Amino acid sequence: MKIVASGLLILTLAACSKQEAPPAIAAAPAPAKPATPAVAPAPIAAPAAIAAPVAEIAAAPGGEAVFKKICATCHMADGSGVPYLQPSIKGSAWISNPDPQLLLSLILRGSAVLGEAAKAYDNDMPPLDNLSDAEIAAVATYVRGRFAAPPLTEPVTPAQVAIARARPGLPE
């Protein structure tokens, strides 16, 4: 699956290099096949796809606080990033993929997982594996609800984070 991963990187790069408009939906990577069939179903019933993201954000207490404390420092409170230094995360293909495993790998391992694509921006993102599974699940849920295009409302669970943490690299 190396080819697929490279394709995702290129798409991500394309998405990140556009600072304003989120990428067209057609440009987002194809939804990955469920990479983690072993994952327990989300504790909250799968939402009817168009549920209000705000409600779901409220269902992930702590996600906004983690975002403000950790993520917004570099990616800015509105997700707009800093030209040349840190990418905008609005509409990021990594966040917009319905399967959260790509996003979780990025959070846990930092920009090292982006490979060559990371060179589009000067600064490195450190691995945030010092955060707990619950904190990462909460912030992943929050950024998916706020920055994914279209917004993703299904909560990310600590169990999904644990799977990403146990995996050596990107999902297959």
Partner 1 sequence: MKTTPTLLAALLLGTLAHGALTPAPNNDGLILPPGFKAVVVADKLKPLRNIAVAPNGDLYAKTRKDGIYALRDTNGDGVADEVKEFGDGGGTGIAVHNGWLYESTDKDLYRYKLNAGELVPSGKPERIVKDLPNQGQHSAKVFAFGADGKLYVESGSPSNAFGGKNDRREGAKGEDPTEFLKTHGGYWRFDADRAEQTLADGQRFSTGHRHSTTIALNPANGKLFVAIHGRDQLSTVAPQFFSEKDNAENPSEVFHELNEGANFGWPFTYWDANTKQRKMNPEYGGDGKKLAEPGKYPDPLVAFPAHWAPMQLAFYTGKQFPAKYQGGAFLAFQGSWNRAPEPQKGYRVVFIPFDAKGMPTGEYETFADNFAGKAEIASPGDAAHRPNGVAVGPDGSLYISDSQAGRIWRIFYTGDAK
Provide the binding-site residues for partner 1, judged by CB under 8 A.
Answer: 19, 68-70, 72-74, 76-78, 80-86, 88, 110, 112, 118-119, 121-124, 126-128, 130
Nearest approach, Cβ of residue 68 and partner 1 (Å): 7
CB of 161 to partner 1, least distance (A): 17
Instruction: Give CA–CA dist 3/51, Å, rounded.
Output: 34
Q: Which two tokens stand for residue 15?
A: 């998405």
33 vs 68, beta carbon nearer partner 1: 68
How far does CA 135 lie from the centroid of its chain? 14
151 contacts 53 by C-beta, under 8 angstroms = yes
Q: How many Å apart are CA 148 and CA 106, to the nearest integer?
A: 15
Shortest reach from residue 82's CB to partner 1, in Å = 4
- Complex with partner 1: residue 51 or 76, whichever CB lies closer: 76
The whole-angstrom separation of Cα 132 and Cα 142 is: 15
Q: Measured from the CB atom, is 7 or 126 closer to partner 1?
A: 126
Please state the closest distance from residue 151 (CB atom) to partner 1, in A. Answer: 21
| Cα–Cα distance measured from residue 134 to residue 18, given in angstroms and rounded to the nearest whole number | 31
Task: Give 46 or 77: the residue with its C-beta nearer to partner 1.
Answer: 77
